[in-house]
Amino acid sequence: MIVAPLRSTRIVHSQFEQHHRTTVTSQFSATCQIHNPPGGGAFDEATGSTVYPDPELVYDGPCKLVRSSDPAGTRVVGDRTVTIAEYVLSLPKDADSLAIPVNAVVTMTGSPQNADLVGQVLTVTNPRFGSITWQRDIVCELQPPPTAR
């Protein structure tokens, strides 16, 4: 049997978020930059190409990147089915006020524990929101490296 609390009581302590925020902040051992994708470009008749504005820098600072245990799904690429891995990028609570849309680009800029992480590029697929948070979690997919033939 589940017993509901009285209407005048809180289930979660009022300092719950603040308490956990301090602990979580100490886990941000990597750094990253997040850019919003550029808007529509303008065709340059002189060069015969479309010129796009520079992407807008939204965030530059500490973060934590963890691979999700659940695969994001599969995609058909050419004649193969490829499993797409999801990653959860965590930012400090202060990043809640930032507008980070789907398709924003995350570039990992530093990681003392994993040098291979530096330079990896991810795409935001789900900027999560919540009413009780002590960090900002954003679901991303690793961008495949460009291929040349």
Give yes or no for a contact between 62 and 30, defined as CB atoms under 8 angstroms apart: yes
Note the Cα 93 to chain centre separation in Å.
13
55 vs 69: CA distance, rounded Å:
31
Comparing CA positions, the residue from 89, 64, 98 lying closest to residue 141 is 89
**CA 99 – CA 123 distance, rounded (Å):** 15
How confident is the model over 41-93, as pLDDT tens digits?
788 888 888 888 888 999 999 999 998 877 667 777 778 887 778 899 999 88
Answer whether residue 5 shows pLDDT above 90: no
Q: Output the average pLDDT for the chain.
A: 82
Contacts of 58 (CB under 8 A, 6+ apart): 34, 35, 36, 98, 99, 100, 104
Whether 69 and 85 have beta carbons less than 8 Å apart is answered as no
Q: pTM above 0.85?
A: no
| 3-state SS, residue 62 | strand
